[in-house]
Structure 1
Amino acid sequence: MTTASVLLVDDEEAFATSNAKLLSNRGYDARTALDGKAALQVLAENNIDVTVLDVRMPGMDGISLLTEIKKRFPLVEVIMLSGQATFETAVEGLKLGASDYLMKPCQISDLVGKIEEALEKRKINEEKQRYEAAREQKGAS
Structure 2
Amino acid sequence: MEAEPQFKFFIVDDDIFCANVYEQFLKNIGHYDITYYSNGNDCIDNLDQNPDIIFLDHNMDGMKGFDVLKKIKRYNPNIYVVMISGQENIETAVDALKYGAFDYLIKDGTVSTKVTNVINKIVTIKEMMRESNPTIVQRILSFF
Q: Secondary structure at the match of 1:81?
A: strand
Residue 43, structure 1, aligned to residue 74, structure 2: no
Q: Secondary structure at the match of 1:93?
A: helix
Give the aligned length.
139
User: Who is 1:58 aligned against?
Assistant: 61
The structural deviation recorded for 1:122 is 4.5
- Give the AA of the match of 1:93: A
From 10, 15, 33, give the equivalent of 2:13. 10
TM-score normalised per structure 2? 0.80
Residue 110, structure 1, aligned to residue 117, structure 2: no
Deviation by residue 1:15-56 (Cα, 9 ceiling, x = unmatched): 1022101211211132211110111233222x3111111110
Is the 1:80–1:101 Cα contact (8 Å) retained in structure 2? yes
Distance 1:9 1:135, change over 3 A: same
Q: Residues of 2 paired with 1:64 and 1:137: CA distance? A: 40
Structure 2: tracts of 5 or more residues without a match: none
TM-score normalised per structure 1? 0.81
User: Who is 1:120 aligned against?
Assistant: 124
Deviation by residue 1:60-89 (Cα, 9 ceiling, x = unmatched): 111111111111021111111100242111
Structure 1: tracts of 5 or more residues without a match: none
Higher helix share: 1
User: Who is 1:84 aligned against?
Assistant: 87
Distance 1:80 1:122, change over 3 A: farther
Q: Residues of 2 paired with 1:96 and 1:126: CA distance? A: 25
Q: Residues of 2 paired with 1:38 and 1:127: CA distance? A: 35
Q: Residues of 2 paired with 1:126 and 1:33: CA distance? A: 30
Q: Cα RMSD between the aligned structures?
A: 2.6
Moved over 4 A (4+): 122-128, 130-138
Q: Residues of 1 paired with 2:138 and 2:98: CA distance? A: 28
